[in-house]
Chains A and B, each alone.
Chain A
Amino acid sequence: MSRQGMRSTDPKKVNSELFTLTYGALVAQILKDYENDDEVNRQLDRMGYNIGVRLIEDYLARTGSGRCYDLRDTADKLQMAFKMYLSITPSVTNWSPAGDEFSLILENNPLTEFVELPEGHGGLKYSNILAGVLRGALEMVQLEVAAWFVQDQLAGDSCTELRVKFLKRLEDAMPVGED
């Protein structure tokens, strides 16, 4: 995702396999360091959060999109962001009746392309970094959400489902002229 010189408007393409393998190396290393699925999930989420708070600026600078006043709007933009950064278009479904919760269905998750989970790691949420990225990015635009995986292809489910729940708007953190 890095760029060269002043060609900053067109993002540099990178082979997704390289990305998949790098992420795999990261997860394997964390698993070695912590030896505990829950702790690994937590670390991945935290890393994702730190990526998200930075990545959001890249997204905004590149797309010039404005503030969301509705969660459906947010869902559409998340879909667009997945397209930009991972070249996949997840479908948005399973809206809660209150419209404050939805799911992103990832049919083919580039993070897990060559992955099979070894025995005894049933608790590991391999792609948990994505949940952290989502949470961090949305927090920077004053939306507090919870994001978690409810289905995972690696665990034998038919698809990977990332659930997003809107918690609140961070009114205190709203920049002036926006509230």
Chain B
Amino acid sequence: MAIISVYIVSKAGGLIYQYDNPNSPKIEVEKTFSYPLEISLDYQNKKVTVVFGQRDGIRVGHTVLAVNGNPVNGRQLEDGQDIFEILKNEENFPISIKFGRPKLNTNEKIVLASMFHSLFAIASQLSPEHKSSGIEVLEADTFKLFCFQTVTGIKFMVVADPKQAGIEGLLRKIYEIYSDFALKNPFYSLEMPIRCELFDTNLQAALEQAEKSGLSNV
């Protein structure tokens, strides 16, 4: 699916809403290994990460998500066993390990959102032209980030597939949904995280619509 996630950042740079499209492809590989493990793992940023030995869709930078179907938490399984201890012991093999691209946790998302907020400000100051906006599109080989800042200073951001068209229209649609279902909710206070069910459902409907109609035929 072509729309990966949506972020809304308040005027102060705080993340007030974030949505990951559950339909966007998850990169996960599960494979059964025999002793000894041919992949070198390291414990980085509180995650067990592949540092070398890329094969069968398992890439450097992927983290261990589960061992024998048991989800991993930090460097431990849920029952408290250390992953590195398990992998050292030949008796535990063959063993099935699930690898995947690490998901951003809420804290990391908040950090990234405020980082983008500053980048946006830097971009507008760096401009050689007088009165430049901040970053409106940020393009990479696997995704495009679109940002729309309202006159009141709220930023709406959509991360999408580079081929997805019609994002500018979608951003304005999200602004409308925000003004309808977040702001007209009397129990929502401004600048606070948006926790409104109506907002969620309407946003998701808009995303689905955009994916259906907006995919360009390039």
Contact = CB atoms under 8 A, between A and B. Distances in A.
A53 B176 contact: no
Given A6-B202, A8-B176, A61-B179, A177 B120 contact: yes
Given A53-B190, A177-B132, A61 B124 contact: no
Given A6-B202, A67-B151, A54 B176 contact: no
Nearest to B155: A175
B63 interface: no
Interface string A27-66: 0000000000000000000000000011111101110101
A178 to B, nearest CB: 8
B152 A57 contact: yes
Contacts of B134: 176-177
A168 interface: no
Interface hub of B149, B152, B183, B205 (most chain A Cβ within 10 A): B152
A2 to B, nearest CB: 7
Interface residues of A, number: 25
Contact of B183 (A6, A58, A64, A66): A58
Contacts of A173: 11, 153
Contacts of A175: 11, 149, 151-153
Given A53-B190, A64-B172, A177-B121, A58 B179 contact: yes
Contacts of B176: 8-9, 61-62
B190 A141 contact: no
Contact of A177 (B149, B175, B205): B149
Contacts of A64: 172
A176 B120 contact: yes
Given A53-B190, A175-B11, A61 B184 contact: no
B59 to A, nearest CB: 37
B206 interface: yes
Interface string B197-209: 0000010011001
A83 interface: no
A140 interface: yes
A149 B62 CA distance: 65
A165 B121 CA distance: 31
Interface in B89-126: 120-121, 123-125
Contacts of B206: 6
Contacts of A121: none
26 contacts: A3-B180, A6-B206, A6-B209, A53-B190, A56-B152, A57-B154, A58-B180, A58-B184, A61-B178, A61-B179, A62-B176, A62-B179, A64-B172, A140-B152, A175-B149, A176-B120, A176-B121, A176-B125, A177-B120, A177-B123, A177-B124, A177-B133, A177-B134, A178-B133, A178-B151, A178-B153
Interface of A: 1-3, 6, 8-9, 53-58, 60-62, 64, 66-67, 140-141, 173, 175-178
